[in-house]
Amino acid sequence: MKSIEIQQKIFKENPSFRRGIVIAWDMDNSGIVPELEELLKEAVQKAAENSVDLKENKRIIPWLEAHRKFNSNPNKFPPAHCSLLKRVQKPGVSIPYINKTVAIMNYCSITGITPVGGDDLVPAGNRLVLKYAEGGERFIPLDDPESVEYPEKGEIIYLAEDLGEIMCRRWNWRNGFKTRITEDTKSIVMNIDGIGEGNIENTLSVRDKVAELLEKYCRAKVLVTLLSPEQNSFSFDI
């Protein structure tokens, strides 16, 4: 049995926060699907043509405020969807098609203007927790697998608790190497995060789009849920 939990203190400090969850398994993440590749290209092109104000948008501002609450500077350590949007809003920019799931993740983050992240469930172990760091947890960055970092005490981290390994630092800033999604990945958990007034409808819409695309392009079996102050944990067996 596996479980995902959000520390209640995070909801106490950020009462509007919701996390949409998509579990996918028996999936085929190999190869390139031209239709999906074109969807991602179109999303990038439209983002460049209709740019989002990264300081004023209603789906951006609450995240900047949330990061400041745990003493993280969002200008130095921006939420991942802010970095992605900043990148693709420049004319002529393209982003690599790494694999089907990562393409789905990037597509949904761009079009939904919201953080969408994912991890391979096999190396992640059985207990995944979004929590405030104690400071001794290990983090191996996705882009620098030879190095080891440690979070600041009080930083929000997404932890593979069985391993003591951080999957994502500063809530949704930087992903870890050990639970990265590859072409060989067969089961994943995807997180669709929403915060701010009126975010739930968008969070659910993006969550369901992620599930739909994983079913269509990865032939995955999927289940979905929503974590909230009323339901801060979810257990499942696949």
- Rounded Cα gap, residues 147 and 142, in angstroms: 10
177 alpha-carbon distance from chain centroid: 14
Could you tell me the pTM of the whole model? 0.96
Contact of 137 with 151, CB cutoff 8 Å: yes
* Tokens, residue 179: 């639970």
Helix axis angle for 100-112 and 200-218, nearest 10°, is 150
What is the pLDDT, as a whole number, of residue 70? 98
Surface-to-core class of residue 31, CB atoms within 10 Å of its CB (0-12 exposed, 13-18 middle, 19+ buried): exposed
What is the pLDDT, as a whole number, of residue 169? 98
Q: What is the pLDDT along the chain (238 residues), one digit of tens a residue?
A: 999 999 999 999 999 999 999 999 999 999 999 999 999 999 999 999 989 898 889 999 999 999 999 999 999 999 999 999 999 998 888 899 999 999 999 999 999 999 999 999 999 999 999 999 999 999 999 999 999 999 999 999 999 999 889 999 999 999 999 999 999 999 999 999 999 999 999 999 999 999 999 999 999 999 999 999 999 999 999 9
Which domains are delineated in the chain? 2-236 (3.50.40.10)
* Tokens, residue 121: 């469930």
